[in-house]
Amino acid sequence: MKRGERLRVFAGRSHPQLARDICAHMGIPIGEASIKDFPDGEIDLKVECDVRGADVFVVQPTSPPVHDSLFELLSFIDCLRRASAETITAVIPYFGYARKDRKDEGRVPINAKLVANLIAVAGAHRVVAIDLHAAQIQGFFDIPVDHLYARPVLMEKVRELGADRPIVVSPDVGGTKLARAYAKDLRADLAIVDKRRISGSETVVENVVGDVNNRDVVLVDDMISTGGSISDAARIVKERGAKRVFIVASHAVLCGDAVKKLDACPAETILFTDTIPLRGQRPAKLVQASVAPLLARAIDRIHRSESVSSLFDNSPRDIETR
Ligand code: R5P
């Protein structure tokens, strides 16, 4: 077999449906592997097909349960390296721990960097990620990172919402660049909610910078975790006179009471991608857009050694600098 002639896509247990959808788009069967737990909770993993000399992709968002997802990814990479795969690409549609990307106080770890180190040390040659919380996280890896954007996928659905005199609103200052990219696509104005974080689960909304009165608001964020930031933002824009409110986010982390908060907030549509599987309750006003075709195109190009950045020819460059 010639170098890199074969392509295999495997799924960890955190999002097998997404991996199946990617394979369906590519017209290839999913790689066979058996993943179970030993009685004590340790992972019992075996790849059931030959990968020697192949370009191998493992699809595994490191979403909750974060440590199970992460360790299973590391174990999968180790297994493929020892099975003599030619190249191993970790396809991580949602990269957990991304918010822990700096020391914002003394005596705290930088877990995003730790996770990047672990993935490279396990034996990955490349990472594919979607909407990293901060684009600079690419620099935590000493291996190539193909950073994809969910925006073109979500924008197709946003356009179908038929927003009247839309204004794009970021729920915090940190999300301004992402919101600006959506505003450019929609040729809409931009406003920002002045949010202060008190703890991991508590935020206070102080003000809206910009006039949302009598406008349809498209609230944009990279992730919704507890749902506190976005539901507070939805409420304050409504108080300031917004007509309809639509929530758009790349990653549906949805922990704790997030679904209840989303159901209770005044947004009429909640639009997510499927980078993370929805477990348990689903928001009542949910619309989903799949990243499977985007990931399928990226995997195909990486396997053929073709440009991946050309997938983003229509994307404003400034999103990179968030
Ligand atoms: C913050 O920087 C992020 O972009 C999200 O706004 C935040 O992580 C969402 O968290 P939660 O849903 O818990 O308010």
Residue 163 alpha carbon to ligand 1 centre in Å: 24
Q: Give the pLDDT band (50/70/90) at residue 315.
A: low
| Residues 132-164: b if buried by 16+ CB within 10 A, e if exposed | bbbbebbebbeeebbbbbbbebbbebbeebebe
Please tell me whether residues 115 and 189 are part of one structural domain: no
Residue 172 alpha carbon to ligand 1 centre in Å: 9
Q: Of these residues, 2, 195, 238, 285, which one is catalytic?
A: 195
Closest C-alpha among 68, 73, 56 to residue 8:
56
Res 322: pLDDT: 35
Closest protein CA for atom 2 of ligand 1: 174
Looking from the CA of residue 229, the nearest atom of ligand 1 is 14
Exposed / middle / buried, residue 303 (Cβ in 10 Å: 0-12, 13-18, 19+): buried
Please tell me whether residues 280 and 311 are part of one structural domain: no
Q: Is the pLDDT of residue 5 over 60?
A: no
The boundaries of the domain holding residue 312 are 3-149+291-318
**Most ligand 1 atoms within 8 A of CB, residue of 177, 201, 225 to mutate:** 225
Please tell me whether residues 141 and 199 are part of one structural domain: no
CB 72 within 8 A of CB 35: yes
285 assigned to active site: no
Q: Give the pLDDT band (50/70/90) at residue 201.
A: confident
Q: Is the pLDDT of residue 320 over 50?
A: no
Looking from the CA of residue 172, the nearest atom of ligand 1 is 6
Q: Is the pLDDT of residue 133 over 80?
A: yes
Enumerate residues lining ligand 1, CB below 6 A. Answer: 99, 171-172, 174-175, 203, 221-230
Check residue 81 and give left, alpha or beta (phi > 0: left; psi -120 to 50: alpha).
Answer: alpha
Residue 21 alpha carbon to ligand 1 centre in Å: 28
Ranking 97-101, 192-196, 252-256, 304-308 by mean pLDDT, the lowest is: 192-196
Please tell me whether residues 13 and 133 are part of one structural domain: yes
Residue 220 alpha carbon to ligand 1 centre in Å: 11
Res 313: pLDDT: 56
Please tell me whether residues 169 and 301 are part of one structural domain: no
Please tell me whether residues 58 and 187 are part of one structural domain: no
Exposed / middle / buried, residue 200 (Cβ in 10 Å: 0-12, 13-18, 19+): exposed
Please tell me whether residues 75 and 157 are part of one structural domain: no
Please tell me whether residues 155 and 259 are part of one structural domain: yes
Please tell me whether residues 141 and 194 are part of one structural domain: no
Please provide the average confidence, as pLDDT, over all residues in the chain: 94
Closest protein CA for atom 10 of ligand 1: 225
Looking from the CA of residue 175, the nearest atom of ligand 1 is 4
**Most ligand 1 atoms within 8 A of CB, residue of 104, 178, 192, 221 to mutate:** 221
Reported pTM: 0.95
DSSP β-bridge partners for residue 184: none
Q: Within a 10 A sphere around the Cβ of 105, how many other Cβ atoms? A: 6
Residue with structure tokens 């990243």? 291
Q: Give the pLDDT band (50/70/90) at residue 112.
A: very high
CATH code of the domain covering residue 98: 3.40.50.2020
pLDDT tens for 157-177 read: 999 999 999 999 999 999 999
Please tell me whether residues 83 and 62 are part of one structural domain: yes
Say how far apart CA 273 and CA 103 lie, in whole Å: 30
Res 4: pLDDT: 46
Residue 54 alpha carbon to ligand 1 centre in Å: 38
| Strand 43-47 versus strand 33-37 pairing type | antiparallel
Please tell me whether residues 218 and 239 are part of one structural domain: yes
Please tell me whether residues 225 and 126 are part of one structural domain: no
Closest protein CA for atom 13 of ligand 1: 226
Identify the residue with better confidence: 110 or 196: 110
Q: Give the pLDDT band (50/70/90) at residue 316.
A: very low
Q: Is the pLDDT of residue 107 over 90?
A: yes
- Our CA dihedral for 38, 43, 44, 45, rounded to 10 degrees, sits at 160
Number of domains in the chain: 2
